[in-house]
Amino acid sequence: MQPRATPGQIIILNGAPRSGKSSIARVIQKSFDGVWMNLGVDAWAGVIPEKCRPGIGLRPGGERPDLEPLISVLYAALYESIAAHSRLGLNVVADLGHHDAYSQPLGILADCAKRLEGLPVLFVGVKCPIGTIMDRRNAGQAGREGRYLTGTKEEPVPAPVARWQEAVHAHGEYDLQVDTGEASAEACALAIAQYIRNRPTRTGVFDRIGR
């Protein structure tokens, strides 16, 4: 029998769509020591049946109450997978958009935190000014034209985009916050690396959220 692996580090990047989470995750995979698995919302979308999309990417506003029971299960499955990777010694970065602005509160974040109990988790808030987010949406970065709502003269910031900006950070607790409107993805990843290196304990906000 092989010796039990030291649990891998888990980094949860939480922020609105187009806030720069995926860019930070790519830098982490490329530059951090060890093997880093990206189990974020984009990767998860690739395994969800089309009829169930947007899956865990369902935006705030209670638009699809028919999907909400499945969303809870999908998040549970995702976090069980994150935990399994960590327990096998693999590091995980997951770029997500947690919120509880469904047709009714679902308590998904607390449930997810419980599933990572006892594992080293860093919960990072990825902030970005709404103007920068709209610039990215309107520019259709990375060939994603048509995937994201864009602004118009009559509605520079679409209502669903505004809801994301508020709902995704409503829980109010992070181990660390970064702002991609002020810093590059590389600088944000460096701040994360320094925080992990200097933190006195491997427990953090996720432990409190899961209680």
Domain boundaries, the chain: 10-209
Q: Would strands 176-179 and 10-14 be described as parallel, antiparallel, or unpaired?
A: unpaired
Q: How confident is the model at residue 99 (pLDDT cuts 50, 70, 90)?
A: very high
Q: Per residue in 151-206, pLDDT tens?
A: 566 565 678 888 999 999 998 899 999 999 999 999 999 999 999 999 877 778 88
Only one residue has tokens 């709209």, namely 134
Q: Per residue in 57-96, pLDDT tens?
A: 999 999 999 999 999 999 999 999 999 999 999 999 999 9
Note the pLDDT of residue 142: 43
Q: Bridge partners of 197?
A: none
Note the pLDDT of residue 148: 63
Note the pLDDT of residue 207: 85
The whole-angstrom distance between residue 71's C-alpha and the CA centroid of its chain comes to 15
Report whether 207 contacts 112 (CB < 8 A).
no
Structure-block tokens of residue 149 = 């709502």
Note the pLDDT of residue 144: 46
**pTM of the predicted model, to two decimals?**
0.91
In sequence order, the 6+-apart residues with CB closer than 8 A to the CB of 77 are none
Q: How confident is the model at residue 107 (pLDDT cuts 50, 70, 90)?
A: very high
What is the distance between the alpha carbons of residues 94 and 79, in angstroms, rounded to a whole number?
10
Check: CATH 3.20.20.70 for 10-209?
Answer: no
What is the distance between the alpha carbons of residues 126 and 52, in angstroms, rounded to a whole number?
26
Q: Per residue in 130-152, pLDDT tens?
A: 988 888 888 864 444 455 667 56
* 57-71 CB burial, b ≥16 within 10 A, e <16: bbbbeeeeeebbeeb
**Run of H or E including 179:** strand 176-179
Backbone dihedral angles phi then psi of residue 197, each to the nearest 5 degrees: -65, -35
